[in-house]
Amino acid sequence: MYDAIVVGARCAGASTALLLARQGHRVLVVDRSSFPSDVISTHFLWPHGMSYLNRWGLLDQVTAVTPTHTTIDIVNDGIRLTGSVPTDLLREHFRDLHGDDSGVVQSYASVRRRVLDEILVEAAAKAGAEVRTNFTVRELIVSDGRVVGVRGRAADGQVFEERARIVVGADGRNSFVARALDLPKYDERPRCTFAYWSYWSGFDLGSGQIHRRGRLGCAVVPTNFAQNMVLVWGPSEWSREFRADVPGNTQRALDFVSPELGEVVRTRGTREERIYGTLDQSAFLRPLHGPGWVLVGDAESAKDQCTAIGMTHAFRDAELVSAALGRWLTGETSIDESMAAYEGRRRSQNAAAYYDYVCTFAEMRPYRHDELQLFVALRGNQEETDRFIATHADVAPVSEFFQASNLFLLNDAAKESSAGYAVFDDFAATSRMYQQNLFA
């Protein structure tokens, strides 16, 4: 009998197992994969994601093999904003969500999952969690309407049955736990992006670059093995045409969004792997918990990759749920109180506002005139640029940036005019052109 069985041993699962085991609980964590291995992921960690790793004592292991930076370039229709997530906002974020602000770091990184997930799994094992890989859960054991354990099959075909006081579903968007429980989806947002990416060597641009133009985006971020993760994305309704020629259209998208990046990749880059892709990204929420089970990470709420927040949110869930479960497992609170505390944080108004922000962003509509004007107004206003980046990354609440009096003040404080940007020359014609499927 375990205190907890965690299904899924990646960002959400291994971290939850690690934190529960460190509290002294008996934890079993299982995954159908073995490690190291990759999984569909755009594998970006924002500074709060890195801060979680630091709080858990794992950051050094990651940064030893992964390039990190603190400033990031966000370029929309040629309007470049350069900034970083401010430490005070990071602190506030951790105080608000977790009640303490220790271990905050300002850096971000792109970490391959075959690197990161293995570090997490090893740390969970070292903390005392029992880790079983190549283990496929086939069934939840339910008794009196309550989940009490799992049955499954190991790599050698042997069948296992294990029981626990709680089963944590940390098995991602396509969660088996959620499917087995036949959980409904809420707040579904079918509009999402298609994303294609691979790994290129041969150039080093320093910090990360995120570009947007029209309905397409691209990012180039240095990652492990002296490579760059090069990612392009666009509205899922263009995906069929994109797929007709994945390598060709990847380059076309790069050239369209940022001719400079397109040129660097074309002339200096060597692609080291095949191109990966997905458009399985429509957003939803699932019920968070029920008798004998609780969900974390993508299993409880999956969102589009367009703000690259999934792994950071998985870490956040792991801290929240392990703190809540810990109070229950030690008898400090009832399970209902503990789950209500977790739910309060995860289904809050701030969370709803950010969810809306991501889902709207994921529709990949061309930027409106007022949005581009806002980016121009932000140039030269470092404090508000940084706050915008923090808002985009879900460090600062959406409601504090997108507030009338703030937006009007930004306008008033603008140091630059739109005169220097080509997109404003004939905005209506440009917008119409942006609606055309580039790959048709």
Partner 1 sequence: MPHQGADTVTTTDLHQRDDGELIEVILHAARHGDVEAMTRTAAEVSDMTRNWAAHIPWDDFAALDRSGADGELAQIVADLTEMWEPAHLHSPVDPDEEYALDKNAYDFYRPAGRNLLARTEDFYGWVQARRRTETWQYSRVLEAAPDSVAQITNDLGRRTRGINFNSQDYLSFNTHPAIREAATRAMRDYGPHSAGSPMVLGNTRISDELEVALGELVGLEHVTLFPTGWAAGFGAVVGLVRQSDHVLIDRLAHSCLQQGARAATRNVVRYEHLNVEAVRQHLVDIRSHDTRNGILVVTDGLFSVDADWPDLVTLQRVCREHDATLLVDVAHDLGSMGPGGTGVLGMQNLLGEVDIVMGAFSKTFCSNGGFVASNSPALKQYVKMFGGSHFFSNALSPVQTAVVREAARIIRSPEGDELRARLFTAIHALRDELTGRGLTCMGEPSPIVPLLIGNEKLARTANRLLFDRGVLAFMVEFPVTPTGSSRFRLQVQAGHGPEEAREAARIIEGAIADSRAYLSSAFGSAPR
Find the binding residues for partner 1 in span 264-283 (CB under 8 A).
271-280, 282
For partner 1, the binding residue among 38, 122, 139, 241 (CB under 8 A) is 38
Per-residue mark of binding to partner 1, 239-258 (x: CB under 8 A): xx--x--x------------
In the complex, least distance from residue 333 CB atom to partner 1, rounded to whole angstroms = 17
Q: For residue 348, what are its two tokens?
A: 């809050």
* C-alpha dist (Å) from residue 15 to 101, 129, 175, 319, 329: 18, 11, 17, 8, 17
Q: For residue 125, what are its two tokens?
A: 């094992």
- SS3 call for 90: helix
290 part of the interface to partner 1, by CB under 8 A: no
Nearer to partner 1, 27 or 115 (CB): 115
What is the spatial distance between Cα 265 and Cα 267, in angstroms, rounded to a whole number?
6
Per-residue mark of binding to partner 1, 184-223 (x: CB under 8 A): xxxxx-xxx---x---------------------------
What is the spatial distance between Cα 146 and Cα 142, in angstroms, rounded to a whole number?
5
In the complex, least distance from residue 232 CB atom to partner 1, rounded to whole angstroms = 13
Name, in order, each residue with C-beta under 8 angstroms of 196's C-beta and a sequence gap of 6 or more.
231, 232, 233, 242, 246, 249, 250, 275, 276, 277
Number of shown-chain residues binding partner 1 (CB under 8 A): 88
Stretch that binds partner 1, among 12-20, 34-42, 76-84, 256-264 (CB under 8 A): 34-42
Q: Dihedral sign for Cα 172, 284, 212, 401, please.
A: negative
37 part of the interface to partner 1, by CB under 8 A: yes
For partner 1, the binding residue among 327, 402, 416, 421 (CB under 8 A) is 402
In the complex, least distance from residue 215 CB atom to partner 1, rounded to whole angstroms = 13
For partner 1, the binding residue among 106, 255, 409, 416 (CB under 8 A) is 409
Nearer to partner 1, 80 or 240 (CB): 240
177 part of the interface to partner 1, by CB under 8 A: no
Residue with tokens 């792997």: 273
In the complex, least distance from residue 107 CB atom to partner 1, rounded to whole angstroms = 25
Angle at 187 between CA 182 and CA 191, to 5 degrees: 105
Contact 228, 90 (CB under 8 A): no
What is the spatial distance between Cα 175 and Cα 135, in angstroms, rounded to a whole number?
15
Residues 313-372 that bind partner 1 (CB under 8 A): 343-345, 347-357, 360, 368-370
In the complex, least distance from residue 230 CB atom to partner 1, rounded to whole angstroms = 14
In the complex, least distance from residue 71 CB atom to partner 1, rounded to whole angstroms = 25
Contact 37, 113 (CB under 8 A): yes
The string over 287-316, giving b where at least 16 C-beta atoms fall within 10 Å of a residue's C-beta and e elsewhere, is: bbbeebbbbbbbbbbbbbbbbbbbbbbbbb
Per-residue mark of binding to partner 1, 109-148 (x: CB under 8 A): -----x-------------------x--------------
Q: Dihedral sign for Cα 29, 30, 36, 38, please.
A: negative
In the complex, least distance from residue 122 CB atom to partner 1, rounded to whole angstroms = 14
For partner 1, the binding residue among 126, 146, 151, 179 (CB under 8 A) is 179
Nearer to partner 1, 85 or 192 (CB): 192
What is the spatial distance between Cα 188 and Cα 92, in angstroms, rounded to a whole number?
30
414 part of the interface to partner 1, by CB under 8 A: no
